């Protein structure tokens, strides 16, 4: 079939034209999607925070086939097999792990980003999209107190942002070959596991990793850190990377960033601050106070899909000395003639592992533009005060003992039963509360003990939800103890 077959072309075109629906069909599709989204949002306050999940969510009922099905049928399947089971992360009653966001405005930004499909990887291709993402990164640099020459990247999340930071610090210190076994990384037992994963991915699995002890509030002990760096220096090791947490995932503890920065400076080590959970609390006065010293780091991770209430898939990394980020990720290819016009604006493709990427900046930009910063500051401040309230109240409920006063918006506590093993009891308490579905909390291990945690970070969590959590916990503990 060498010659061009016009009949065949027409037949294929007829089919492929359904990929570009006309106005009436678009309207019909949009109406169906909007109706479903509205129903989901209308029911969010009463929907369970958790529905125990069957092993098979039944997605295989609908096979992917040659011919399509009606969108209404597809949405029904989505509702049944995805949105009605497991944890409802959009619920204001979801207080487990680290709650994420899901702002309506951000969803509209995503919709538009997908419709216009701007290529946000290269300035030459889409100068506006790249400029918008750089503007957002500049805004983040400003609110944390990073200088003009800082550079960053909007990532898919905190794990990628930690990886980018580790690679940048590796290349800045030329931790290669024999140097790897000599280089020392300082963390605590509260450091997020994505840091160890990043080291492994970056080929640094043979680095020496020192776990610095923490104080009773789970914050890194700076005097122990100081001693460890001194000892490593005199033993011929190379103190390379200190990873401090600006809000640990476990308890929300903020390491003493100012003191740690002073130590890093004195020994010439790279200070990375993981603020994936807590970073954006810098926007409210209470958080700003707790996070002081954060700007003294060399690199910093912030997750807009945590403390900026964005939907999943939005992280950020900032590197204070911007050129170091560029040196680690600058890409060259014959077909990427991007720098030929001497573009000043840095491109994400030169500051991250990605080339083609989601234009994730638009969801942040549209939200911040339309809502302004004030509601974000208010929500963050509210979360801190709700965690303090919860901590104070649970402390006075019979049988409960509490962890440290919350630095940010996570409170820890456990129930001490009159008899029996407290760890097993708290596990049972957590499971019972989860399965009831009214609220969702999670647990962790602190110094070998099972501890319950209430993490308040949904923009839909207010005083009513927190009061309900207190009641559910007290009632369930009493019931289990009487059983
Ligand atoms: C959530 C979290 C991460 C990982 O971020 P992802 O966005 O889930 O990849 C890293 N560090 C801390 C402190 C976190 O809370």
CA of 281 relative to ligand 1 center, distance in Å: 15
Kind and range of the H or E run holding 171: helix 158-172
CA of 158 relative to ligand 1 center, distance in Å: 4
Longest dimension (CA), the chain: 87
Counting atoms of ligand 1 from 1, which one is nearest the CA of 156?
7
For the residues 78-104, what does the mean pLDDT come to?
Answer: 95
Instruction: Label residues 398-423 b or e (16+ Cβ within 10 Å = b).
Output: eebebbbebbbbbbbbbbebeeeeee
pLDDT tens-digit map of 284-298: 999 999 999 999 999
* Position 335 confidence tier, pLDDT thresholds 50, 70, 90: low
pLDDT tens-digit map of 424-446: 999 999 999 999 999 999 999 99
Counting atoms of ligand 1 from 1, which one is nearest the CA of 162?
10
Determine if ligand 1 sits within 6 Å of the CB of residue 278: no
Determine if ligand 1 sits within 6 Å of the CB of residue 303: yes
DSSP string, 15-66: HHGGGS--HHHHHHHHHHHHHHHHHHHHTTTTS-SEEPPPS---GGGS---S
pLDDT tens-digit map of 460-476: 999 999 999 999 999 99
The tokens describing 415, both together, are: 């129930």
If you average pLDDT over every residue of the chain, what do you get?
95
For the residues 63-77, what does the mean pLDDT come to?
Answer: 94
> Residue 344: pLDDT above 90?
no
Which of 321, 327, 276 has the alpha carbon at shortest distance from 298? 321
> Residue 343: pLDDT above 60?
no
Are 185 and 209 in contact by the 8 Å Cβ rule? The answer is: yes
Query: Hey, whose CA ends up nearest to atom 5 of ligand 1?
Result: 158
Q: For 266-316, what is the HEC assignment?
A: HHCCEEEEEECCCHHHHHCHHHHHHCCCHHHCCEEEECHHHHCCCCCCCEE
Percent of the chain past pLDDT 70, that is, above it, reads 97
The tokens describing 195, both together, are: 């840091």
DSSP letter at 79?
Answer: I
Which of 288, 192, 174, 299 has the alpha carbon at shortest distance from 249? 192
| Predicted pLDDT of residue 337 | 56
Strand partners, 445: 450
pLDDT tens-digit map of 28-52: 999 999 999 999 999 999 999 999 8
| Predicted pLDDT of residue 250 | 96
Are 89 and 296 in contact by the 8 Å Cβ rule? The answer is: no
Determine if ligand 1 sits within 6 Å of the CB of residue 194: yes
Are 240 and 168 in contact by the 8 Å Cβ rule? The answer is: no
Residues 6 or more apart in contact with residue 293 via CB below 8 angstroms: 256, 257, 258, 259, 260, 261
Q: Please state the pTM of the whole predicted model.
A: 0.96
Angle at 27 between CA 26 and CA 28, to 5 degrees: 90
Determine if ligand 1 sits within 6 Å of the CB of residue 255: no
pLDDT tens-digit map of 215-268: 999 999 999 999 999 999 999 999 999 999 999 999 999 999 999 999 999 999
Determine if ligand 1 sits within 6 Å of the CB of residue 155: no
* Position 336 confidence tier, pLDDT thresholds 50, 70, 90: low
> Residue 61: pLDDT above 90?
no
Query: Hey, whose CA ends up nearest to atom 6 of ligand 1?
Result: 158
CA of 277 relative to ligand 1 center, distance in Å: 6
Determine if ligand 1 sits within 6 Å of the CB of residue 272: no
DSSP string, 309-351: -PPSS-EEEEESSHHHHHHHH----TT--GGGG---SPPGGGT
| Predicted pLDDT of residue 340 | 45
Query: Hey, whose CA ends up nearest to atom 10 of ligand 1?
Result: 158
């Amino acid at each position: 079939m060498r010659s061009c077959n016009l009949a065949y072309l027409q037949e294929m075109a007829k089919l492929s034209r359904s990929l570009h629906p006309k106005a009436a069909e678009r309207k019909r599709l949009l109406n169906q999607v909007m109706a479903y989204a509205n129903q989901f949002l209308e029911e969010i306050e009463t929907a369970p925070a958790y529905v125990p999940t069957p092993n098979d969510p039944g997605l295989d009922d609908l096979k992917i086939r040659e011919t399509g099905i009606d969108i209404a049928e597809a949405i029904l399947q989505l509702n049944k097999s995805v949105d009605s089971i497991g944890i409802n992360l959009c619920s204001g009653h979801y207080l487990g792990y680290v709650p994420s966001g899901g702002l309506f405005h951000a969803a509209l930004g995503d919709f538009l980003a997908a419709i216009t499909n701007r290529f946000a990887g290269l300035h030459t291709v889409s100068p506006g999209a790249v400029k918008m993402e750089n503007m957002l990164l500049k805004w983040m640099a400003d609110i944390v107190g990073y200088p003009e020459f800082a550079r960053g990247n909007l990532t898919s999340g905190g794990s990628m942002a930690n990886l980018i930071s580790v690679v940048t610090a590796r290349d800045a210190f030329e931790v290669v070959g024999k140097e790897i076994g000599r280089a020392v990384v300082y963390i605590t037992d509260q450091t997020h596991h994505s840091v160890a994963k990043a080291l492994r991915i970056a080929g640094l699995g043979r680095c020496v990793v020192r776990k610095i002890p923490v104080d009773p509030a789970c914050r890194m002990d700076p005097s122990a850190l100081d001693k460890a760096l001194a000892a490593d220096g005199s033993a011929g090791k190379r103190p390379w990377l200190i990873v401090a947490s600006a809000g640990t995932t476990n308890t929300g503890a903020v390491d003493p960033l100012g003191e740690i920065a002073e130590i890093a400076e004195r020994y010439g080590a790279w200070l990375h601050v993981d603020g994936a959970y807590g970073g954006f609390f810098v926007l409210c006065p209470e958080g700003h106070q707790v996070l002081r010293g954060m700007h003294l780091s060399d690199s910093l991770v912030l997750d807009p899909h945590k403390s900026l209430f964005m939907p999943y898939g939005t992280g950020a990394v900032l590197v204070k000395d911007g050129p170091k980020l560029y040196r680690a990720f600058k890409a060259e290819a014959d077909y990427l003639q991007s720098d030929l016009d001497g573009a000043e604006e840095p491109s994400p493709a030169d500051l991250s592992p990605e080339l083609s990427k989601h234009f994730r900046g638009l969801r942040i930009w549209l939200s911040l533009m339309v809502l302004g910063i004030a509601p974000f500051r208010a929500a963050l401040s509210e979360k801190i005060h709700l965690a303090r309230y919860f901590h104070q109240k649970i402390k006075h409920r019979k049988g409960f003992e509490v962890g440290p006063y919350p630095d940010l918006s996570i409170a820890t506590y456990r129930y001490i039963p009159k008899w029996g093993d407290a760890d097993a009891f708290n596990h049972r308490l957590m499971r019972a509360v989860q399965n009831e579905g009214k609220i969702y909390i999670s647990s962790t291990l602190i110094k070998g003990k099972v501890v319950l945690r209430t993490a308040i970070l949904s923009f839909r969590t207010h005083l009513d939800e927190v009061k309900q959590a207190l009641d559910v916990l007290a009632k369930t503990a009493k019931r289990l103890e009487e059983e």
